[in-house]
Amino acid sequence: MNNAVASRRAFLKLAATVTAAEFLQPEFTAGALRANAANALPEATSPDYTLRIAAAPIEIAPNHIVSAITYNGQFPGPLLRFKEGRQVVVDVHNDTDTPEQLHWHGQFVPVDVDGAAEEGTPFIPAHGMRRLVFTPRPAGLRFYHTHNRAGADLHAGQYSGQVGPVYIEPTRDSGGYDREVFLVLKEFEPSLSRGGDMAMDFLAPATEDKTLKEAGESAMKESLARGTPHGYEVGYRYFTINGRMLGHGEPVRVKTGERVLFHILNGSATEIRSLALPSHTFKVIALDGNPVPVPVNVPVLWLGTAERISAIVEMKHPGVWVMGDLADDDRSHGMGIVIEYAGQPGKPQWIKPKPFHWNYARFGKTGNTSPAPDETIDILFFKRNAALEGFNEWTINDVAFSMEKPAPMFHVRQGRRYRLRMRNASDDIHPIHLHRHSFELIKLAGQATAGIMKDVVMVGGYQEVEVDFVADNPGLTLFHCHQQLHMDYGFMALFDYV
């Protein structure tokens, strides 16, 4: 245990049980307190944070209340601020009837803390608790969320309210901003439909792979020819930022000349989100919490499920604005937040931005300057249309993941650098996540890049994406699409260290 934290906790504990006179005696030195903490008091240590999983009403607009499973009765869950490298104690109580998993997304934690049953993390028992002790890293915007399977139950898993932000403060802050604002994007009241309307044409480069397209389209054609309808998709009725529909939460109040650092998290179970602020640009400084090599200004942000963007907005166009999703329907059902300059009257204005393509490589170093991998692993994503009671089944290298036989598919050795060559034979965009590690973007639909470290990457329809990771955190490691409907129906695989 970190000594500073231990002695502070021990101090609080002892301060409560000894009189002031006793406390002033010389044997109560820092050393004695530390020894006490190490030997006698570990179980009595109070946690840095306590999270309680329980159903609670969430008022997403005045008199408009949804019921959700939450952390500490609120949505989003409380912002947890950690210091990089300083050990923390988090108690997680589960007041529901369902065993839970709390996943520390984007952190390099061991398997028993990570929060994925597939890796072997113990469940937080129904009406029980687990104490988690770990060292937060790396610095930046992370988050925590449930890792339960939902399947066809749209009240379960990440469809409900179990999402909260984590900010791990770096040992040195680069500064350059006046204040921070955290935004969590999340939909409520999901329902199943046949076919969706998700934006598909925003990713750049747009280069599709002919072989992948032929494979995907012919499989789809055969399925439809047999009379199978399209597999289910999920849609939502209400859209929120920080748990409030557009116009019904506190606006972000700003002053002219301020530089506001927005930490934005897509907490959706299934959706890709966009965000624009009319007359302003976002200077993207970090993707998935990790500083980018080339911070540049962009007019629009796109975030796949579970992605995070940290971006500075210089407030230099006074007014009252809607920062919102480009999709009119989603924005008019709540996906936005008002940005209000001091002393500016009037209704919030929305102006549709010019078409803009999202290319991660914009923030990376040009060309392929990354070290060569020790090994390349080929990974093929495939959709079996409506194969599981109307739900699409997803395979990785022809295998749909199942908890009945969760055998690791990929084997790595510690210290080696692996290139994952991901090929997507479906027309969906998949936000692909690797647990307990970060990866470097190497090639995006044919375009080389370097230096961008992420833990989720959107792989476009019929596209190929390459990422590298160093096997430096032994233990079972889950690799999956972060779209709940996809991961729940096969789109997962395990890495093990051999």
CB 142 within 8 A of CB 103: no
Binding region for Cu ion (CB under 5 A) out of 274-282, 309-317, 343-351, 480-488: 480-488
Identity at 195, one-letter amino acid code? G
Instruction: Give min distance, CB of 381 to Cu ion, in A.
Output: 8
Cα torsion 329, 335, 341, 343: sign: positive
Instruction: Give min distance, CB of 175 to Cu ion, in A.
Output: 37
CB 104 within 8 A of CB 436: no
Instruction: Give min distance, CB of 77 to Cu ion, in A.
Output: 24
Q: Tell whether residue 305 is a contact of Cu ion (CB under 5 A).
A: no
Binding region for Cu ion (CB under 5 A) out of 185-193, 254-262, 443-451, 477-485: 477-485
Binding region for Cu ion (CB under 5 A) out of 163-171, 221-229, 315-323, 476-484: 476-484
Establish whether the linkage from the previous residue to 205 is cis, with ω within 30° of 0.
Answer: yes
Q: Site mask, Cu ion, residues 147-176, x = CB under 5 A?
A: ------------------------------
Contacts of 100 (CB under 8 A, 6+ apart): 53, 92, 94, 123, 124, 126, 146, 148
CB 481 within 8 A of CB 431: yes
Cβ-based nearer residue to Cu ion, 419 or 486: 486
Give ∠ CA 290-178-90 in degrees, rounded to 5.
Answer: 50
Q: Provide the 3-class DSSP secondary structure of residue 484.
A: helix
Q: What's the half-sphere exposure (Cβ side, CA atoms, 13 Å) at 339? A: 28
Cβ-based nearer residue to Cu ion, 336 or 431: 431
Cβ-based nearer residue to Cu ion, 308 or 486: 486
Q: Site mask, Cu ion, residues 405-444, x = CB under 5 A?
A: -------------------------x--------------
CB 18 within 8 A of CB 33: no
Q: Provide the 3-class DSSP secondary structure of residue 9.
A: helix
Distance between CA atoms of residues 497 and 416, nearest Å: 11
Cβ-based nearer residue to Cu ion, 139 or 156: 156
Q: Which of 7, 242, 483, 484 binds Cu ion (CB under 5 A)?
A: 483
Distance between CA atoms of residues 220 and 302, nearest Å: 28
Instruction: Give min distance, CB of 431 to Cu ion, in A.
Output: 7
Instruction: Give min distance, CB of 305 to Cu ion, in A.
Output: 8
Q: Which of 58, 326, 481, 493 binds Cu ion (CB under 5 A)?
A: 481
Q: Tell whether residue 103 is a contact of Cu ion (CB under 5 A).
A: no
Instruction: Give min distance, CB of 146 to Cu ion, in A.
Output: 18
Which secondary structure element, helix H or strand E, spans residue 328, and what is its range? Answer: helix 328-332
Q: Provide the 3-class DSSP secondary structure of residue 442.
A: strand
Q: Tell whether residue 486 is a contact of Cu ion (CB under 5 A).
A: yes
Binding region for Cu ion (CB under 5 A) out of 28-36, 150-158, 288-296, 481-489: 481-489
Neighbours of 490 (CB within 10 A): 24
Cβ-based nearer residue to Cu ion, 7 or 270: 270
Q: Site mask, Cu ion, residues 444-463, x = CB under 5 A?
A: --------------------
Instruction: Give min distance, CB of 494 to Cu ion, in A.
Output: 17
Segment 185-244, which members bind Cu ion (CB under 5 A)? none
Closest to 86 in 3D by CA, of 155, 129, 137: 137
CB 475 within 8 A of CB 451: no
Instruction: Give min distance, CB of 63 to Cu ion, in A.
Output: 36
Cβ-based nearer residue to Cu ion, 282 or 394: 394
Binding region for Cu ion (CB under 5 A) out of 168-176, 296-304, 444-452, 473-481: 473-481
Q: What's the half-sphere exposure (Cβ side, CA atoms, 13 Å) at 376? A: 9
**How many residues of this chain interact with Cu ion, rule: CB under 5 A?**
4
Instruction: Give min distance, CB of 424 to Cu ion, in A.
Output: 9
Q: What share of the chain is helix, strand, coil (3-state, %, to 5)?
A: 15, 45, 45
Instruction: Give min distance, CB of 489 to Cu ion, in A.
Output: 10
Cβ-based nearer residue to Cu ion, 246 or 306: 306
- Give me the residues paired with residue 273 across strands: 303
Cβ-based nearer residue to Cu ion, 121 or 483: 483
Closest to 160 in 3D by CA, of 55, 252, 242, 276: 55
Instruction: Give min distance, CB of 428 to Cu ion, in A.
Output: 6
Binding region for Cu ion (CB under 5 A) out of 243-251, 317-325, 363-371, 485-493: 485-493
DSSP 45: P
CB 102 within 8 A of CB 166: no
Segment 47-86, which members bind Cu ion (CB under 5 A)? none
Closest to 282 in 3D by CA, of 249, 313, 236, 246: 313
Instruction: Give min distance, CB of 200 to Cu ion, in A.
Output: 13
Cβ-based nearer residue to Cu ion, 383 or 436: 383
Distances (CA, A) of 62 to 56, 128, 335: 16, 34, 16
Binding region for Cu ion (CB under 5 A) out of 204-212, 285-293, 416-424, 478-486: 478-486
Distance between CA atoms of residues 36 and 40, nearest Å: 5
Instruction: Give min distance, CB of 231 to Cu ion, in A.
Output: 12
Q: Under the rule (CB under 5 A), what is the footprint of Cu ion?
A: 430, 481, 483, 486
